[in-house]
Amino acid sequence: MVEWLRKSQQKFALLTNGVQWRLIHAGPDYEAWCEWDIALWFEEGEPSDQVRALLHLLSPKALTPPKEGEPAPLVAAIQDTRKGQAELSANLGERVRLAVEHIIHSSGEVIDHLRAESVAVSPRDVYIAATRLVMRCVVVLFAEARELLPRTDPVYNDSYSLQGLRGQLDNFYAVADAEACESCGVCETRCQMEAITSPEGKAVVDRSRCIGCALCLTTCPSGALQRLGGRDVRCLQERLGLLEGGP
C-alpha cells in the first residue's frame, strides 16, 4: 500500500479488513498511519471520539491544500510531528549522554577503590552499566508521565517514583556551618553540582545550585554540613545508589 501511494503520488489511503480501519500516509522516505477498531466506534449508542476523529481526519478541510504548492493541513500536521520527534530524539540523546557521563564521572572514586582491590572493572562494563541505569530511568519517567505507573498512590509516589524522588530532592539543600568547618575541601570536590565554594577558606553552599543529594553531608569529617528541608537523607541516598549497597 505504501509503495502504491508513492508510485501513484497519492498522499493517503484508507485500508480495512472490515473490523480495523487504517489511514495511511506515505511521504517520500517515511510513512505514518493511525488505526481504528469498529468495536470502539459507538459508546452507549452514540458515536465515540474514535468516529469523530476519523471523520475529522477524512474531512475535505483536513485533506485539501489551502493553496497550490502547499501541503494539506493533515500532511502539514504529520510533517510538524516528525520535526518535533527529531528534536525530541536529539534532545533526549544529548541528555542521556550527559547523564551517562555524569554517572561515570561520579563513580570514579568507587571504581578506583575496586581496582585497588584488584577487582576487574573494564571501561566497557562501566559504560554499559551507566547507560542501562539511565535508560531504565528514562523508561520509568516516560511511564510515570503517561500515568502508566501509579503516581497518585502515595506509597508508590513516596517510595518508588522517580518524579516523587525529584520532588523530595527539590526540598533539600545543604548549609555549611563556618565555625565547625575545618577547611579540608573534601565537600567541594565531592559535590557534583559545583555548589560548594570556599571564598574565605570556609565552605559555602550555593543554594541555587544545590540539588540536595546530601553527598557532602556524609563526607564532611567535622559534621559542619547540615541539610534543611526534605526527608531522610540516607533513605534518599540509598535510593539514588550513592551509598555502598545501594541499588
**31: which DSSP letter?**
E
- How many residues touch ligand SF4 (CB under 6 A)? 28
**Interacting residues with ligand SF4 between 216 and 245 (CB under 6 A):** 216, 220-222, 224-225
**Residue selected from 24, 134, 174, 236 as contacting ligand SF4 according to rule CB under 6 A:** 174
Q: Which stretch binds ligand SF4 (CB under 6 A): 56-64, 113-121, 150-158, 203-211?
A: 203-211
Say whether residue 176 binds ligand SF4 (CB under 6 A): yes
Neighbours of 164 (CB within 10 A): 16
Whether residue 104 contacts residue 134, with contact meaning beta carbons closer than 8 Å, is answered with no
Say whether residue 96 binds ligand SF4 (CB under 6 A): no
3-state DSSP of 143-190: HHHCCCCCCCCHHHHHHCCHHHHHHHHHCCEEEECCCCCCCCCHHHHH
Q: Which long-range contacts (CB under 8 A, 24 or more apart) does 206-213 make?
A: 207/173, 210/172, 210/173, 210/174, 211/169, 211/172, 212/169, 212/170, 212/171, 212/172, 212/173, 212/174, 212/236, 213/169, 213/172, 213/237, 213/240, 213/242
**110 to each of 104, 105, 115, 241, how far by Cα in Å?**
10, 10, 9, 12
**195: which DSSP letter?**
-
Instruction: Supply the minimum distance, in Å, between the C-beta of residue 216 and ligand SF4.
Output: 3
Instruction: Supply the minimum distance, in Å, between the C-beta of residue 208 and ligand SF4.
Output: 11
**Residue selected from 183, 197, 218, 237 as contacting ligand SF4 according to rule CB under 6 A:** 183
Say whether residue 186 binds ligand SF4 (CB under 6 A): yes
Residue 75 or 203: the one with the smaller Cβ distance to ligand SF4 is 203
Say whether residue 212 binds ligand SF4 (CB under 6 A): yes
Residue 26 or 224: the one with the smaller Cβ distance to ligand SF4 is 224
Say whether residue 175 binds ligand SF4 (CB under 6 A): no
In a 13 Å sphere around the CA of 4, the CA atoms on its Cβ side amount to 6
Instruction: Supply the minimum distance, in Å, between the C-beta of residue 244 and ligand SF4.
Output: 17
Residue 103 or 187: the one with the smaller Cβ distance to ligand SF4 is 187
**Residue selected from 184, 204, 240, 243 as contacting ligand SF4 according to rule CB under 6 A:** 184
Cell of 67: 493553496
Say whether residue 26 binds ligand SF4 (CB under 6 A): no
Nearest in space to 222 (alpha carbons), one of 194, 181, 183, 186: 181
Whether residue 95 contacts residue 137, with contact meaning beta carbons closer than 8 Å, is answered with no
Q: Which stretch binds ligand SF4 (CB under 6 A): 81-89, 91-99, 106-114, 184-192?
A: 184-192
Residue 131 or 218: the one with the smaller Cβ distance to ligand SF4 is 218
* Residue numbers at the binding site for ligand SF4 (CB under 6 A): 174, 176, 181-187, 190-191, 193, 195-196, 203, 205, 210-216, 220-222, 224-225
